[in-house]
Amino acid sequence: MFHDFFHTIHQYVGEYGYAAIMLGLLLEHFGLPLPGETLLITGAVLASHGTLDIWLLLPLAWAAAVTGNTVGFLIGRTGGQPLLVKYGNRFGITRKRLLKVEGFVERYGVIVIIFARFIVVARQLSGIAAGSLNMHWLRFTIGNAVGAALWVGFWGALAYWLGKGIFQYLAELEIMEPALLIASGVALAAGILYVIWFGRPRGRADR
């Protein structure tokens, strides 16, 4: 099941590129339970392979995340969260979850806006919660921008770096394959001889 899911995400990003990642991040950041993190990571891995440009991907992902959270903030600020909960309940946007995130925002303020992106439910609802609690727009905007930069930078850069390392490792492995096969064969032969020699029945002299 997970293999099919990641294959679908990979295919979706591969076909639609930056647009798929931006749309997914934007929709996720104002409440919809979409795999934004997976989209970002997939895009960064594809960028490490040369399919996308990482220097274009990261700012576009940042802009989409900021915009999505801002839309959520406006929904909360204008009293639209009951409507979102009513129609979003089937997607996991429940009143209980929203109240829980609101409690964190009310207690810790802009700190939650910055670090909420690293928690799935909080990432989706933090903007709405901040708007419904009438957080000052400037504080929210700063926290939103900083949080998006940290989240996109962390996952994007990490996935890009790991992707680079994996592809480089595979390339080196392909080059070294003959030598590895020979070394493996020698090690296997040595292991068999060791087992035969020390595993054979010993005579009285050996005792």
pLDDT of residue 173: 43
The answer to whether position 123 is within a domain reads yes
Total domains in the fold of the chain: 1
pLDDT digits (tens, 9 = 90+) for 10-66: 677 777 889 989 999 999 888 887 888 888 988 898 898 888 999 999 999 999 999
The answer to whether position 156 is within a domain reads yes
Domain range enclosing 139? 2-168
The winner for highest mean pLDDT among 55-64, 83-92, 100-109, 196-205 is: 55-64
The answer to whether position 147 is within a domain reads yes
Please indicate whether residue 28 or residue 169 has the higher confidence score (pLDDT): 28
Q: Side chain identity at 125, as an amino acid letter?
A: L
The answer to whether position 23 is within a domain reads yes
The answer to whether position 79 is within a domain reads yes
The answer to whether position 197 is within a domain reads no
* C-alpha to C-alpha distance for 81 and 74, rounded to whole angstroms: 10
pLDDT of residue 4: 55
Q: Side chain identity at 14, as an amino acid letter?
A: G
The secondary element (H helix, E strand) that includes residue 105 is helix 95-108
Please indicate whether residue 183 or residue 42 has the higher confidence score (pLDDT): 42
* C-alpha to C-alpha distance for 105 and 21, rounded to whole angstroms: 27
User: What DSSP assignment string belongs to 112-145?
Assistant: HHHHGGGSHHHHHHHHHHHHHTT--HHHHHHHHH
Report the alpha-carbon angle 168-173-178, nearest 5: 155
pTM: 0.73
The answer to whether position 67 is within a domain reads yes
